[in-house]
Amino acid sequence: MKALVQDRYGSSDVMQFADVDVPTIGDTDVLLEVRAASLHRGDWHLMTGLPSLVRLFGFGLRRPKQRTRGMDVAGIVHSVGSGVTAVQPGDPVFGVCRGSLAEFASAPAELLVPLPAGVSFEQAAAVPTSAVSALQGLRDAGRLSAGQRVLVIGAAGGVGIFAVQLAKHWGGIVTGVCSTGKLELVRALGADAVIDYTTDGLGRERYDLILNLAGNRPVSLLRRSLATSGTLVIIGGENGGRILGGFQRSLQAMLISLFVRQRLTGLAAVQRRSDLLLLAELLAAGSLVPVIHRVYPLSEAKDALRMLEAGDPRGKLVITP
């Protein structure tokens, strides 16, 4: 089969379009015929091996253990392991897999859910990792309740497009922060207000919940926009060095939180079948609509990774075999 693979850490230049073996599956796994995949910031971290902290989580200290990048997927079940009963060959599904930038991929059966009627493979592939991060950031870490004022920093990015929609769905009063050229997109997602960070910073309002998805603003600056008993959730990190990346801000936030009334925390999202099923319901109802910046053929997936490196897509980057 064709796949985009890497044998060392580095920029998108280390990725190669090559012929590789079709993955083997275990008793609780599924072999998928990939119809669409999408990229998120985690794919960049695993491609580059940066920050070095990510290598300690079983991804390979000197070189990637998993040669094929990509986790988010939508496709058709080709075959199933002996212990799998939830899905059958021929079922259209979406979820999380191992190496979705390929014609076939293996996936844990528990992390695949049925493709909702009326939702395309491309739309579904754009959802899993980014939308789960938004969902858990708002609901679990942020403890969002109806009527709260929510600030989404990075509202036009891969996680932000879902965060704005979910916060509105759950009754939040949402302000989105993005660059000038993306203001209309964030308004179209349902934001009650938008802020152009290139001219207005974070504005002067105070918010009950801040979801920080982009930039490297100090925790002290973010706290100034937070209500006295508000909650700050930092997801991911940027420009923080080769060892910890931007993740030290999350650690700093949690330490400061011990001494102030504000709740300051980070989030490392965990994939759960229950959350994927909830997202499938919202997709089917039209309450959640993926925003796709561009669709690339698998043979040009390297260009999609370059776009991800540049950090400027409006929404999600999707790849189709």
The Cα-based distances of 289 to 124, 304, 315 in angstroms read 10, 21, 11
Can you give the pLDDT at residue 292? 97
Torsion of CA 32, 79, 46, 244, to 10 degrees: 120
Quick one: which of 165, 173, 160 has its CA closest to 190?
165
Q: Within this chain, do residues 261 and 158 fall inside the same structural domain, yes or no?
A: yes
Residue 118, domain member (yes or no): yes
To the question of pTM greater than 0.85 for the whole model, the response is: yes
Pull the structure tokens for residue 237. 């990190």
- Residue 240: CATH number of its domain: 3.40.50.720
Of residues 314 and 150, more confidence is placed in 150
Write phi, then psi, for 185 (nearest 5 degrees).
-60, -45
Q: Within this chain, do residues 259 and 162 fall inside the same structural domain, yes or no?
A: yes
Burial of 159 (0-12, 13-18, 19+ CB in 10 A): buried
Domain that holds residue 246: 129-267
Count: domains in the chain: 2
Can you give the pLDDT at residue 48? 76
- For the chain, the average pLDDT equals 91
Summarised one tens digit per residue, pLDDT across range 36-60 is 999 988 887 788 776 566 655 546 6
Q: Within this chain, do residues 102 and 8 fall inside the same structural domain, yes or no?
A: yes
Q: Within this chain, do residues 60 and 155 fall inside the same structural domain, yes or no?
A: no
Summarised one tens digit per residue, pLDDT across range 105-130 is 999 999 999 999 999 999 999 999 99
Q: How far apart are CA 140 and CA 137, in angstroms?
A: 6
Summarised one tens digit per residue, pLDDT across range 269-281 is 999 999 999 999 9
Q: How far apart are CA 178 and CA 312, in angstroms?
A: 11
> 248-256: long-range contacts at Cβ-Cβ below 8 A with a sequence spacing of 24 or more?
249/216, 249/218, 249/219, 252/219, 253/219, 256/219, 256/223
Residue 279, domain member (yes or no): no
Residue 285, domain member (yes or no): no
Residue 206, domain member (yes or no): yes
Is the pLDDT assigned to residue 201 strictly greater than 70? yes
Pull the structure tokens for residue 85. 């009963």
Can you give the pLDDT at residue 43? 84
Q: Within this chain, do residues 256 and 237 fall inside the same structural domain, yes or no?
A: yes
Residues 269/133, Cβ–Cβ less than 8 Å: yes
